[in-house]
Structure 1
Amino acid sequence: MKKTLTILVSSTLLAACGGGSSSPDTGTGTGTVTAPLSVYAGTWQAPCDDHELDSVTLSAKADGTLEVVTKAEYFVASNCSGTPLATQTTSANASITFTGSADSPIKLTTSGATTTVKLDKVNVAIPSYKTLITGSAVQYLTELGQAKWCINFSSSSRSCILDTGTEPASATSGAMYINGNTLYLLSLANGTWVPDEIYTRK
């Protein structure tokens, strides 16, 4: 399990529809262009990962940034079917700021070819936050001096997440890409952008 979904926003987001995320002139004659990151607004969901279903909601703000709200839900079934037993959130939300677009090499799968696409590069600001986990199957306890939340999937199966207290504020940079209804959060590895996480639009 991921300790907190906030780490997901350390990746960058790429734009769809033939490359850049900037929208064309609205046709009003003013030359106004939509904020570049608004194309990413919406709720996105990752594939089920052994009881855990992660999602991220990106909201376009008036200043052109994106607010990032992350959530993880945990289920009895390993395929994430049924009603969630527990929900993981954070006490504060990260923000994403557009820093520019560039034609850059990208590799979307481990065995796939490297291609060049137009990326939207971003900075990510993560405020100080605490992890929050709630739900009917959650126990908050201390074992060997370490506080933790434990999610009970059954009488013989559980998974625990350490409570590390208040995390310090931090900042990082990255890039993003959309292909149809698929969102790729990317990081740079040996000069090529590769996915950290892949989401589908809900």
Structure 2
Amino acid sequence: MKTTLAVLATCIVASTMLAACGGGGSDSSGSATGTVTAPLSVYAGTWQVPCDDHELDSVTLSAKADGTLDVVTKAEYFATANCSGTALATQTTSANASITLTGSADTPVKLSTSGATTTVKVDKVNVAIPSYKTLITGSAVQYLTELGQAKWCINFSASSRSCILDTGTEPASSTSGAMYISGNSLYLLNLENGIYVPDEVYTRK
């Protein structure tokens, strides 16, 4: 199981979603009425990754008045391995991260491990993560201590469960990266050897 905010901290630095036509970075040009659109607002929405063995992760990005994005992460856990039915447990955090645009640039990107490198316009961002605690709730959740370690355990069935350690309050941190969108796909990219590569790919929910 993933600690959703920690996953976000390492991957959202690279890519987020573009307008429906697909393609590179954000557009901050004014409309016909002269209204200026906040560059990161094109990424607003709820995004989801495919089910991963009982776990379904999503992120909701909301545009704020100061031009940043508010980040709400969520992981849901299901009795079925394909995440069908009603969620048994929900993992959230006590505080939300915030994304700030630091610039846009035409940059080499490899959108899949087997794909070719191409140059696209990405939005480079900084992610600020405040001090937070992990929160897990639901009908199938047990909070217990085993071998001196507190944890939440999610019971998928009478013979199957997974547990998440309670690490207490995590310190504030920040990281940087870039965001890119193509159609309904949101790419979270990491910079490796001068080329951005996907750490995670979300689909608009």
Give me the TM-score of the superposition, normalised by structure 1: 0.95
Matched, 1:26 2:31: yes
Alignment of 1:13 with 2:18, yes or no, is no
What is the Cα deviation at residue 14 of structure 1? 4.4
CA apart distance, 1:27: 1.2
Are 1:76 and 2:55 an aligned pair? no
- C-alpha contact (below 8 Å) 1:8/1:197 kept by paired residues: no
Task: Note if contact 2:23-2:183 (Cα within 8 Å) is conserved in structure 1.
Answer: no
Q: Kindly tell me the number of residue pairs found equivalent between the two proteins.
A: 200
Equivalent residue for 1:46? 49
Kindly indicate whether the alpha-carbon contact (under 8 Å) linking 2:96 and 2:130 is maintained by their aligned counterparts in 1: yes
Distance 1:69 1:130 in 2: 13
Q: Is the 8 A contact 2:49 2:56 kept in 1?
A: yes
Paired residue for 1:132, among 122, 131, 135?
Answer: 135
Provide the secondary structure at the position in 1 that maps to 2:111.
Answer: coil
Residue aligning to 2:202: 199
Q: Percent identity?
A: 81
Distance 1:9 1:22 in 2: 24
**Partner Cα separation in structure 2 for residue 111 and residue 138 of structure 1:** 39
Displacement of 1:107 in angstroms is 0.7
Q: In structure 2, how many angstroms separate the alpha carbons of the residues matched to 1:18 and 1:185?
A: 14
- 1:155 aligned onto 2:158: yes
Provide the rounded CA distance (Å) in 2 between the counterparts of 1:38 and 1:73: 26
Displacement after TM superposition at 1:15 (Å): 5.3
User: Structure 2: any 5+ residue segments left out of the alignment?
Assistant: none
Q: How far apart, CA to CA, are the structure 1 residues paired with 2:17 and 2:86?
A: 33
1:19 touches 1:117 (CA, 8 Å); kept in 2?
A: yes
Separation in structure 2 between the aligned mates of residue 15 and residue 161 of structure 1, nearest angstrom: 30
How far is the alpha carbon of 1:155 from its aligned partner?
A: 1.0
Q: Say which structure, 1 or 2, has more relative contact order (CA 8 Å, 6+ apart).
A: 2
- 3-state SS of paired residue (1:7): helix
CA pair 15-149 structure 1, distance change in 2 beyond 3 A:
closer
Which ranges of 4 or more aligned residues in structure 1 deviate by more than 4 Å? none
Asked if the contact 2:15–2:181 (Cα under 8 Å) also holds between the matched residues in 1, the reply is yes
1:6/1:90 contact within 8 Å kept: no
| TM-score of the two chains, using structure 2 as the length reference | 0.94
Structure 1 gaps of 5+ residues are none
**Where does residue 168 of structure 2 map in the other structure?**
165
Instruction: Render the CA deviation track for 1:126-170: whole Å, top value 9, x for unaligned.
Output: 000000000010000111110000001111111000000000000
Residue 4 (str. 1) matches residue 4 (str. 2): yes
Residue 92 of structure 2 aligns with an amino acid whose one-letter code is: T
User: Residues 44 and 57 of structure 1 are in contact (CA less than 8 Å); yes or no, is this contact kept in structure 2?
Assistant: yes
Provide the aligned C-alpha RMSD in A.
1.3
